[in-house]
Structure 1
Protein backbone atom coordinates (compact mmCIF):
# COMPACT_ATOMS: atom_id res chain seq x y z
CA UNK A 1 0.00 0.00 0.00
CA UNK A 2 1.29 3.35 -0.90
CA UNK A 3 0.74 6.21 1.43
CA UNK A 4 -0.54 9.37 -0.15
CA UNK A 5 2.10 12.05 0.17
CA UNK A 6 0.45 15.10 1.68
CA UNK A 7 1.83 18.44 0.80
CA UNK A 8 2.17 20.92 3.58
CA UNK A 9 0.08 24.06 3.13
CA UNK A 10 0.52 27.36 4.86
CA UNK A 11 2.20 30.69 4.66
CA UNK A 12 5.93 31.12 4.41
CA UNK A 13 7.95 33.49 6.58
CA UNK A 14 8.52 35.75 3.58
CA UNK A 15 4.78 35.83 2.85
CA UNK A 16 4.05 36.62 6.49
CA UNK A 17 6.54 39.50 6.47
CA UNK A 18 5.09 40.87 3.23
CA UNK A 19 1.55 40.93 4.61
CA UNK A 20 2.74 42.42 7.90
CA UNK A 21 4.37 45.31 6.01
CA UNK A 22 1.28 45.85 3.82
CA UNK A 23 -1.10 45.82 6.80
CA UNK A 24 1.18 48.07 8.86
CA UNK A 25 1.40 50.64 6.06
CA UNK A 26 -2.36 50.55 5.52
CA UNK A 27 -2.93 51.01 9.25
CA UNK A 28 -0.49 53.94 9.36
CA UNK A 29 -2.19 55.71 6.45
CA UNK A 30 -5.63 55.12 7.95
CA UNK A 31 -4.58 56.32 11.41
CA UNK A 32 -3.11 59.52 9.98
CA UNK A 33 -5.92 60.34 7.51
CA UNK A 34 -9.06 59.51 9.51
CA UNK A 35 -8.78 62.65 11.71
CA UNK A 36 -8.59 64.84 8.58
CA UNK A 37 -11.69 63.17 7.14
CA UNK A 38 -13.52 63.71 10.42
CA UNK A 39 -12.50 67.39 10.34
CA UNK A 40 -13.86 67.70 6.80
CA UNK A 41 -17.24 66.28 7.85
CA UNK A 42 -17.33 68.62 10.85
CA UNK A 43 -16.70 71.61 8.56
CA UNK A 44 -19.34 70.36 6.12
CA UNK A 45 -21.87 70.01 8.94
CA UNK A 46 -21.09 73.54 10.21
CA UNK A 47 -21.44 75.04 6.73
CA UNK A 48 -24.77 73.27 6.19
CA UNK A 49 -26.05 74.51 9.55
CA UNK A 50 -25.07 78.11 8.78
CA UNK A 51 -26.64 77.98 5.28
CA UNK A 52 -29.91 76.58 6.69
CA UNK A 53 -30.06 79.58 9.03
CA UNK A 54 -29.89 81.85 5.94
CA UNK A 55 -27.83 84.67 7.51
CA UNK A 56 -28.64 88.18 6.27
CA UNK A 57 -25.04 89.27 5.62
CA UNK A 58 -21.66 87.76 4.85
CA UNK A 59 -20.13 89.01 8.14
CA UNK A 60 -22.94 87.30 10.09
CA UNK A 61 -22.21 84.01 8.31
CA UNK A 62 -18.48 84.34 9.03
CA UNK A 63 -19.17 85.20 12.68
CA UNK A 64 -21.38 82.11 13.02
CA UNK A 65 -18.64 79.91 11.56
CA UNK A 66 -16.13 81.45 13.97
CA UNK A 67 -18.48 80.67 16.87
CA UNK A 68 -18.86 77.06 15.72
CA UNK A 69 -15.09 76.79 15.23
CA UNK A 70 -14.52 77.83 18.85
CA UNK A 71 -16.84 75.06 20.02
CA UNK A 72 -15.63 72.39 17.58
CA UNK A 73 -11.98 72.07 18.52
CA UNK A 74 -11.31 69.75 15.55
CA UNK A 75 -11.66 72.55 12.96
CA UNK A 76 -8.10 73.79 12.47
CA UNK A 77 -7.58 73.84 8.69
CA UNK A 78 -9.76 76.79 7.71
CA UNK A 79 -11.10 79.95 9.25
CA UNK A 80 -14.10 82.19 8.58
CA UNK A 81 -12.12 84.17 5.99
CA UNK A 82 -11.68 80.99 3.88
CA UNK A 83 -15.41 80.56 3.26
CA UNK A 84 -16.84 81.59 -0.11
CA UNK A 85 -20.32 82.91 0.58
CA UNK A 86 -22.80 83.66 -2.23
CA UNK A 87 -26.55 83.98 -2.59
CA UNK A 88 -28.48 81.92 -5.15
CA UNK A 89 -32.26 82.17 -5.45
CA UNK A 90 -32.54 83.92 -2.09
CA UNK A 91 -30.61 81.06 -0.43
CA UNK A 92 -27.15 81.38 1.02
CA UNK A 93 -24.54 79.09 -0.52
CA UNK A 94 -21.30 78.52 1.34
CA UNK A 95 -18.36 76.71 -0.20
CA UNK A 96 -14.84 75.96 0.93
CA UNK A 97 -11.68 74.26 -0.28
CA UNK A 98 -8.38 73.49 1.39
CA UNK A 99 -5.39 71.16 1.19
CA UNK A 100 -4.31 69.03 4.12
CA UNK A 101 -0.80 67.61 4.31
CA UNK A 102 -0.49 64.38 6.29
CA UNK A 103 3.04 63.41 7.31
CA UNK A 104 3.49 59.64 7.09
CA UNK A 105 7.15 58.97 7.87
CA UNK A 106 10.43 60.72 7.15
CA UNK A 107 10.14 62.81 3.99
CA UNK A 108 7.00 60.98 2.85
CA UNK A 109 3.72 62.85 3.15
CA UNK A 110 0.27 62.72 1.61
CA UNK A 111 -1.63 65.79 0.38
CA UNK A 112 -5.42 65.56 0.43
CA UNK A 113 -7.52 68.19 -1.34
CA UNK A 114 -10.84 68.78 0.37
CA UNK A 115 -13.68 70.87 -1.00
CA UNK A 116 -17.35 71.17 -0.23
CA UNK A 117 -20.40 73.36 -0.29
CA UNK A 118 -23.64 73.75 1.58
CA UNK A 119 -26.61 71.67 0.49
Structure 2
Protein backbone atom coordinates (compact mmCIF):
# COMPACT_ATOMS: atom_id res chain seq x y z
CA UNK A 1 0.00 0.00 0.00
CA UNK A 2 1.28 3.40 -0.94
CA UNK A 3 1.04 6.21 1.58
CA UNK A 4 -0.20 9.30 -0.24
CA UNK A 5 -0.52 11.52 2.80
CA UNK A 6 0.95 14.99 2.47
CA UNK A 7 3.62 15.83 4.95
CA UNK A 8 2.77 18.71 7.19
CA UNK A 9 5.24 21.63 7.48
CA UNK A 10 5.93 20.61 11.08
CA UNK A 11 7.46 17.35 9.94
CA UNK A 12 10.08 18.95 7.66
CA UNK A 13 13.55 19.24 9.06
CA UNK A 14 14.68 22.77 9.75
CA UNK A 15 17.40 23.92 7.43
CA UNK A 16 20.77 24.60 9.00
CA UNK A 17 23.65 26.63 7.64
CA UNK A 18 25.20 30.04 7.48
CA UNK A 19 23.03 33.05 6.84
CA UNK A 20 24.07 36.01 4.74
CA UNK A 21 24.40 38.13 7.87
CA UNK A 22 26.63 35.50 9.49
CA UNK A 23 28.83 35.30 6.41
CA UNK A 24 29.15 39.10 6.28
CA UNK A 25 30.16 39.16 9.96
CA UNK A 26 32.83 36.49 9.45
CA UNK A 27 34.11 38.29 6.34
CA UNK A 28 34.30 41.61 8.20
CA UNK A 29 36.24 40.00 11.05
CA UNK A 30 38.71 38.38 8.63
CA UNK A 31 39.16 41.70 6.83
CA UNK A 32 39.79 43.49 10.15
CA UNK A 33 42.43 40.95 11.23
CA UNK A 34 44.09 41.10 7.79
CA UNK A 35 44.33 44.91 7.87
CA UNK A 36 45.94 44.88 11.32
CA UNK A 37 48.39 42.15 10.27
CA UNK A 38 49.39 44.10 7.15
CA UNK A 39 50.01 47.24 9.22
CA UNK A 40 52.22 45.61 11.87
CA UNK A 41 54.13 43.19 9.62
CA UNK A 42 56.72 45.79 8.43
CA UNK A 43 57.72 46.54 12.05
CA UNK A 44 58.40 42.85 12.71
CA UNK A 45 60.23 42.48 9.42
CA UNK A 46 62.52 45.37 10.36
CA UNK A 47 63.02 43.88 13.85
CA UNK A 48 64.30 40.65 12.30
CA UNK A 49 66.65 42.70 10.09
CA UNK A 50 68.00 44.55 13.14
CA UNK A 51 68.45 41.24 14.96
CA UNK A 52 70.33 39.78 11.96
CA UNK A 53 72.69 42.76 11.81
CA UNK A 54 73.37 42.59 15.56
CA UNK A 55 74.01 38.84 15.46
CA UNK A 56 76.46 39.31 12.58
CA UNK A 57 78.27 42.07 14.47
CA UNK A 58 78.53 40.00 17.64
CA UNK A 59 80.13 37.12 15.70
CA UNK A 60 83.10 39.29 14.75
CA UNK A 61 85.66 40.59 17.23
CA UNK A 62 84.30 43.82 18.67
CA UNK A 63 86.89 43.99 21.46
CA UNK A 64 89.41 45.75 19.18
CA UNK A 65 86.89 48.37 18.04
CA UNK A 66 86.00 51.68 19.65
CA UNK A 67 82.39 52.67 20.34
CA UNK A 68 82.41 54.97 17.29
CA UNK A 69 83.73 52.20 15.03
CA UNK A 70 81.03 49.83 16.29
CA UNK A 71 78.35 52.43 15.60
CA UNK A 72 79.72 53.11 12.11
CA UNK A 73 79.85 49.37 11.38
CA UNK A 74 76.22 49.02 12.45
CA UNK A 75 75.16 51.99 10.31
CA UNK A 76 76.83 50.50 7.22
CA UNK A 77 75.19 47.10 7.78
CA UNK A 78 71.85 48.71 8.57
CA UNK A 79 71.92 50.67 5.30
CA UNK A 80 72.32 47.50 3.28
CA UNK A 81 69.57 45.76 5.28
CA UNK A 82 67.10 48.66 4.92
CA UNK A 83 66.97 49.30 8.67
CA UNK A 84 65.65 52.80 9.38
CA UNK A 85 64.33 52.62 12.92
CA UNK A 86 67.63 51.98 14.77
CA UNK A 87 70.86 53.91 14.28
CA UNK A 88 74.36 53.32 15.60
CA UNK A 89 73.85 55.95 18.30
CA UNK A 90 70.87 53.93 19.65
CA UNK A 91 72.92 50.79 20.32
CA UNK A 92 73.59 49.42 23.78
CA UNK A 93 77.26 48.45 23.85
CA UNK A 94 78.38 46.42 26.84
CA UNK A 95 80.35 43.42 28.05
CA UNK A 96 79.08 39.89 28.61
CA UNK A 97 80.11 37.53 31.42
CA UNK A 98 83.18 36.42 29.43
CA UNK A 99 84.36 40.03 29.10
CA UNK A 100 83.61 40.26 25.38
CA UNK A 101 82.01 43.35 23.88
CA UNK A 102 78.37 42.82 22.86
CA UNK A 103 75.87 44.96 21.01
CA UNK A 104 72.09 45.08 21.50
CA UNK A 105 69.21 47.47 20.87
CA UNK A 106 65.92 48.20 22.57
CA UNK A 107 63.34 50.33 20.82
CA UNK A 108 59.64 51.00 20.35
CA UNK A 109 57.61 51.37 17.18
CA UNK A 110 54.22 53.10 17.12
CA UNK A 111 52.10 52.17 14.10
CA UNK A 112 48.81 53.96 13.39
CA UNK A 113 46.01 51.52 12.58
CA UNK A 114 43.03 53.71 11.69
CA UNK A 115 41.57 56.95 12.98
CA UNK A 116 43.15 57.81 16.30
CA UNK A 117 43.96 54.18 17.17
CA UNK A 118 47.55 52.99 17.02
CA UNK A 119 49.59 50.10 18.36
CA UNK A 120 52.92 50.38 20.20
CA UNK A 121 55.39 47.49 19.92
CA UNK A 122 58.48 47.05 22.13
CA UNK A 123 61.45 45.28 20.59
CA UNK A 124 64.64 43.96 22.20
CA UNK A 125 67.24 42.85 19.67
CA UNK A 126 69.91 41.08 21.66
CA UNK A 127 72.51 38.56 20.53
CA UNK A 128 71.49 35.82 22.99
CA UNK A 129 68.55 34.76 20.82
CA UNK A 130 65.73 35.95 23.09
Please confirm whether the aligned pair reaches a TM-score higher than 0.5, indicating the same fold. Answer: yes
Matches within 5 A, 1:44-59: 44-55=51-62, 56=64, 57-59=66-68
Q: Tell me how far apart the structure 2 counterparts of residues 47 and 33 of structure 1 sit (CA, whole Å).
A: 22
What displacement does 1:10 show?
1.4
Runs of 4+ with deviation above 4 angstroms: 1-4
Greater strand share, structure number: 1
Alignment root-mean-square deviation, CA: 1.6
1:11 aligned onto 2:14: no
Structure 2: gaps (5+ residues): none
Highest CA radius of gyration, 1 or 2?
Answer: 2
**Count of paired positions:** 118
TM-score by length of 1: 0.90
Pick the aligned partner of 2:84 from 71, 76, 82: 76
The superposition leaves residues 5-63 of structure 1 with CA deviations (integer Å, 9 ceiling, x where unpaired) of 22212111221121112101100111011111010000001001111112222222111
